[in-house]
A and B are shown apart, each in its own frame.
Chain A
Amino acid sequence: DQQVKQNSPSLSVQEGRISILNCDYTNSMFDYFLWYKKYPAEGPTFLISISSIKDKNEDGRFTVFLNKSAKHLSLHIVPSQPGDSAVYFCASGGTYNFNKFYFGSGTKLNVKP
């Protein structure tokens, strides 16, 4: 049973517009949430994170929102650029648990020029 779900396998967005990627989790004990970006033939690279004590974290064009009551997080990319085209994984887990994370199945983002 998946503890982290990304229900949209793919998303296509025009360059300059906002990309919104969504993620749901089931375990209320999770206290740390991350987004990773993955290009083909490469490993995932860390993008942005948020702890459960916050509901928003920004880093440049990337913002992660956390709604603990809904067990939902989202990644906003504004403005989207063609170089953002990649697979995005959300991961949730606990700093109490040796940083073991559960990953979603990924959303493939395509930003069209």
Chain B
Amino acid sequence: GAVVSQHPSRVICKSGTSVKIECRSLDFQATTMFWYRQFPKQSLMLMATSNEGSKATYEQGVEKDKFLINHASLTLSTLTVTSAHPEDSSFYICSVSRGEYEQYFGPGTRLTVT
């Protein structure tokens, strides 16, 4: 069965609005979750590492005030895209890692900003 779930799977919003994406670890408690972004025909790029109970660590070039991450429990992390613009349209995927074992990915959320 699925290890990681995401909601919603697809969202369309108007430019200037905010969108929240949820990521849940279903199989184990995850102290760390990862958020990736994938543009068409491109690699998955790590945006930020979400740590339970503390501030997220953002990769270079990712605006922390635009992409708000909250990891309030060991099974839930949320990514909020604030004041979304068309260039934020992408496929957002979360992931959880069980130590040195495999990394599990969610089914992704397709965001389209019109």
Are A and B co-members of a single complex?
Answer: no
Binding site for B on A (CB under 8 A): none
Q: Which residues of B contact A (CB under 8 A)?
A: none
